[in-house]
Amino acid sequence: MSAVMISRRNFLVTGLTAAGGFAVGLPLGLGSAQADSASAGKIGFYVEVRPDNSFVLGTAQPEIGQGVRTSLTMLIAEELEVPWERVSIEPMPLGIVKTADGYTWKYGGQGAGGSTSVTDAWEFLRQVGATAREMLVTAAAQRWSVPVGRCHAEAGYVLCDDNGQRFSYAELAADAAALPQPEEPPALKPQSEFSLVGTPRNTIDARDIVTGKARYGIDTEMPGMRYAVIQRAPQLDAKVVSYDDREVRQVPGVVDVFKIDGPEPGAPYHILAEGVAVVATSQWAAFEGRRKLRIEWTESPWKDESTETFWAQTAELLSGEGQVVRDDGDFVGALSAADKTVEARYQVPYVNHAPLEPQNCYADVREDSVHIIAPTQSPSGSNRAAHTITGIDREKIRVDMTRVGGGFGRRLTNDYTAEAVLISQKIGAPVKLVWSREDDVQHDFYRPSGEHEFKAGLSADGKVTAWTHRLASASKYYRRENVAPEDMYGAEMYIDDFPAGIVDNLRIEWLAVTSGVPRGSWRAPAHTANAFTVQSFIDEVAHAAGRDPLELRLELYGDNRELPYGQHGGPTFNPWRLSRLLKHVAKEIDYGAERPKGRAVGIASHFTFGGYAAHALEVEVGSQGELDIRRVVAAVDCGVVVNPRGVEAQLQGGTIDGFSTALNLEITVDQGRIQQSNFHDYRIARMAEIPRNIECHILPYGDTPTGMGEMGIPTVAPALTNAIYNACGVRIRKLPIADQLAKQLS
């Protein structure tokens, strides 16, 4: 998810430090000079004290349903010493500032990708709260003319230990805001003194959601705003030859129709596809107008691509040699010396992100400024897209973030911002571009598809002595600037993943598939495919060795120790933490119990971006292949837990996403065209198809948190297919499961 990785150095607001930021470079200007608004109660960017002694805390990160508006706000409130019931939130725009060193981010890095928000904010936002609190305490001490040490903050008040008096924060805010900011951030509370962090808290703005007041990008209305839709090329990389808009212009409300140039085949994307835009005075008129468009398209350079040709290509590639991206010990020698070898191939399909709020963006391009309102996971990317098209200084491009109706990685890419900017620029007026569901299903940066081949060697006593994982896939890095062909694998295989560093003789190979299907980051990116395949194969190895899959995993995961982990989520990986989770879920589900014929348990565990997860499922498979998921036990170790209720929601939601995707979801291609188009043929699971209860267990660890947006999903598919195998003997090696059981058993 490098699109949103902002280097540590960029966290520093160097240009502002002299004016009031911490000398150590704390990334905020807390002094009044740096506050965004002139409101008397504003202490720095994040903290506003209202006259009624309630507290409005800024949220700088995109809220895509991962709960950051709640969990990150808890971090500020913990140190600010304010009662949670009196806290509300205020979304902040992108904080981009130009300095002598280039652009930097005055609120710290802003973006939702790679489950990093909580980890990145862990110290920073507590320092924000602590600094504002110390400034309030100092203001009170000055009024009482007592040393700061004789005052303390408690529940929105500063109390004097000498005279027993107190001031509310509201009474002190104006004085505090005028104080110079401390040179060093105040010391943070030890975790043992937390009173808010670690306690379960409901979604802070849930009342707005349940009353219909919450505003999403698609709800944007601005004066003079037009509405737009685009008819994009139905075949991959096709171009417009000509179009006939006469009937379109007959539709009441349609005001303009024009072509939007797409990228050249193979060139990096700024938008996904060429198309024709229809601009109207209402959303419905724009949709209606589009239905009347007649467009002649060029032949697609991918007209011969289909899902069948994709799998033919992977098979062909796997029969040859790949790029060796990790080679430990002597894999070839160990395999030939093995007492027994096991091998298997697995196929993982393309899938669509399908956030429930379709892509949309408001853009108002003026001569020397741009205003963007977008549901985005990457506001800086949105800003960059607008800058690239208009050439306007990035500091003059305001990006406001709404609550986002789901992200799943789709909104790390700001192609829809680019489209809206192009349209606004062309019509010289503000515009809201909205995609239909068909647009979204047919034009996505899909999760990459691939075929995985594994081989393992076993010694006579059932130990794993050799292991190889070879993947033929279509890297999501393709069509990116500055990624060399030999680095493409990095998006699809994380070479330090289990069992690297554990099985001594290990080889990892990658083979590049050529495909015109656009690819991108899909929740937990390559971990979904790799956890499915590795955790399936480890079961296959255990069965071949005559060993229990749980016992084999525990042996391989081994003792409590840190292994080097060079990819996102590192710098280390402790496989023992997976053992701890596995033992927990195994006990909860009564792993060793005798079960009636057709009923069995399956397990899986995986390390994702710094977090650890395990699933144990009990399923029953009927004689005709009817699948009943009877019990679901999920466990996660995401380090320190900030908001257990939020973690549980992510674990439940990730588990359900895992079921929905493994059971039914697949994007297929025919003649260079995506075959699915809406929720009737891209069937996200409905309530009746999902187990009624998901038992969630949170096992805290250590003293820092990791994010939670992605850890819940990767282990679901392999736990399910392992359970299915144990129940009925059918090994699912191709996702989605769909009707494979019925076909094989009946």
Partner 1 sequence: MISIYSCGMETFSVNGQPAEFEGDPATPLLWVIRDHIGLKGTKFGCGIGQCGACTVHIDGRAVRSCMTPVSGAAGKSVTTIEGLAPSEEKLHPVQLAWLEMDVPQCGYCQAGQIMAAAELIASNPAPDDDAIDQHMTNICRCGTYTRIRKAIHRASELSAEGS
- In the complex, the residues that contact partner 1 under the rule CB under 8 A are 63-67, 202-203, 206-207, 209-216, 218-219, 221, 227, 252, 282-284, 287-288, 354-358, 403-408, 434, 436-437, 645, 649, 652-657, 660, 678-680, 684, 686-688, 690, 692-694
Distances (CA, A) of 677 to 202, 436, 442, 670: 35, 10, 6, 13
Indicate which of ligand FES, partner 1, none lies near residue 694 (CB less than 5 to 8 Å, by partner kind).
partner 1
Which option in ligand FES, partner 1, none does residue 289 bind, with CB closer than 5 to 8 A by kind? none
Kindly provide the b/e burial profile for residues 479-517, where b requires at least 16 CB atoms within 10 angstroms of the residue's own CB.
beeebeeeebbbbbbbbbbbbbbbbebbbbbbbbbebbb
State both tokens at 626: 């009817």
| Closer CB to ligand FES, 58 or 355, in the complex | 355
Residue (of 122, 168, 118) closest to 143 by Cα position: 168
Write the burial class of residue 83 (CB in 10 Å: 0-12 exposed, 13-18 middle, 19+ buried): middle
CB of 678 to ligand FES, least distance (A): 9
* Residue with Cβ nearer partner 1 (131 or 231): 231
Of these partners, partner 1, ligand FES, none, which one is at the site of residue 645 (CB under 5 to 8 Å by kind)?
Answer: partner 1
Quick one: what does residue 215 bind among partner 1, ligand FES, none, with the CB cut-off 5 to 8 Å set by partner type?
A: partner 1
**Bond from prior residue into 147 cis (ω within 30 degrees of 0):** no
Single-letter amino acid code for the residue at 236: L
360-365 and 340-348: which strand pairing? unpaired
- 159 or 441, CB closer to ligand FES? 441
Residue 422 beta carbon to partner 1: minimum distance, rounded to whole angstroms: 23
213 binds, among ligand FES, partner 1, none (CB under 5 to 8 A by kind): partner 1
Pull the structure tokens for residue 467: 């292991």
User: Contact letters (x/-) for ligand FES, 14-53, by CB under 6 A?
Assistant: ----------------------------------------
Residues 390-409 that bind ligand FES (CB under 6 A): 406
Query: Cβ of residue 90: shortest distance to partner 1, in angstroms?
Result: 17
For residues 691 and 713, give the distance between their C-alpha atoms in angstroms, rounded to a whole number. Answer: 15
Place of tokens 């980051």: 521
Site string for ligand FES, 533-572 (x = CB under 6 A): ----------------------------------------
65 part of the interface to ligand FES, by CB under 6 A: yes
Distance CA 302, CA 158 (A): 68
Q: Calculate Rg over the CA atoms of the chain.
A: 27
Q: How far is the CB of 4 from partner 1 (least distance, A)?
A: 18
Applying CB under 6 A, among 154, 356, 514, 729 the residue interacting with ligand FES is 356
Give the chain's length.
746
Side chain identity, residue 633: V
Judged by beta carbon, residue 66 or residue 300, the one nearer partner 1 is 66
688 binds, among ligand FES, partner 1, none (CB under 5 to 8 A by kind): partner 1
Structure tokens at 708: 């939670």
Q: Characterize 566-601 residue by residue with b for buried, 16 or more Cβ atoms within 10 angstroms of its Cβ, and e for exposed.
A: eebbbeebbbbbbbbbbebbbeebebeeeeeeebbb
Question: Which C-beta is closer to ligand FES: that of 355 or that of 718?
Answer: 355
Minimum gap (Å) between residue 713 Cβ and ligand FES: 15
Q: Which is nearer to ligand FES, 108 or 654 (CB)?
A: 654
Instruction: Please state the closest distance from residue 435 (CB atom) to partner 1, in A.
Output: 10
CB of 603 or CB of 663, closer to ligand FES: 663
CB of 57 to partner 1, least distance (A): 19
Q: Please say whether the dihedral angle defined by the alpha carbons of residues 278, 284, 285 and 290, taken in this order, is positive or negative.
A: positive
Alpha carbon of 217 to those of 221, 285, 510: distances in Å? 9, 19, 39
Integer Cα distance of 250 and 247 in angstroms:
5
Total residues contacting ligand FES (rule CB under 6 A)? Answer: 3
Contact 602, 538 (CB under 8 A): no
> Shortest distance, CB of residue 406 to ligand FES, whole angstroms?
5
For the bound state, the minimum distance from the C-beta of residue 372 to ligand FES, rounded and expressed in Å, comes to 23
459 binds, among ligand FES, partner 1, none (CB under 5 to 8 A by kind): none
Binding site for ligand FES (CB under 6 A): 65, 356, 406
